[in-house]
Amino acid sequence: MAWRKLSGELLQLPILDEIRLKMIEEQDSKLKVCIGTDSQVKGAIVEFATAIVFIREGKGGFIFHNSYQTERILSIKERMIQEVSDSVQVAYSICPILDEFKIDLEVHADINTNPQFRSNAALKEAMGYILGMGYVFKAKPDAFASSYCANKVVK
């Protein structure tokens, strides 16, 4: 699982080192980090993509992302929980750096809050998982890191 910039360029250093360097470079910016994962089913293959979105208040932002595929057949609820799990794992791994630089973190779930949508079947579990880990939870329509950013890079 290789981390990349939005352009597709591979990161030169391990993700934690890249984030630490960016935090040092961006010390004059007010930053917030949002993490989200999206997936797409293509026949018997499911592709997952996770995006770490860095928002510079008033100055745009940048994204690091990775993706992987699995051949497991997953129900919609299993797939949504796997997306959340991937995001939480990334959040957990980068939290020490974000805490060091006092940067706020949100975990975004590509789950619709409207019960008419199938993804809503996993809303309560996803919210409990994310909040239980101590992170700020966002779902659709506010979950842009998963719904837009990760969605853009999942193939």
Going through 15-145 in order, the beta strands assigned E by DSSP cover 31-42, 45-56, 60-70, 104-112, 136-140
Which pLDDT value is given to residue 155? Answer: 66
**Is this prediction's pTM over 0.85?**
yes
Q: What is the mean pLDDT of the chain?
A: 93
Taking only the tens place, the pLDDT of each residue in 21-30 is 999 999 888 9
Taking only the tens place, the pLDDT of each residue in 93-114 is 999 999 999 999 999 999 999 8
Which pLDDT value is given to residue 147? Answer: 86
- Look at 138 and 153; give whichever has higher pLDDT: 138
CATH number at residue 141: 3.30.420
Q: Which domain holds residue 121?
A: 4-153
The upper half-sphere exposure of residue 82, i.e. CA atoms within 13 Å in the direction of its Cβ, equals 19
Give the total number of structural domains in the chain. 1
Residue 134 has pLDDT above 70, yes or no: yes
Which pLDDT value is given to residue 67? Answer: 95
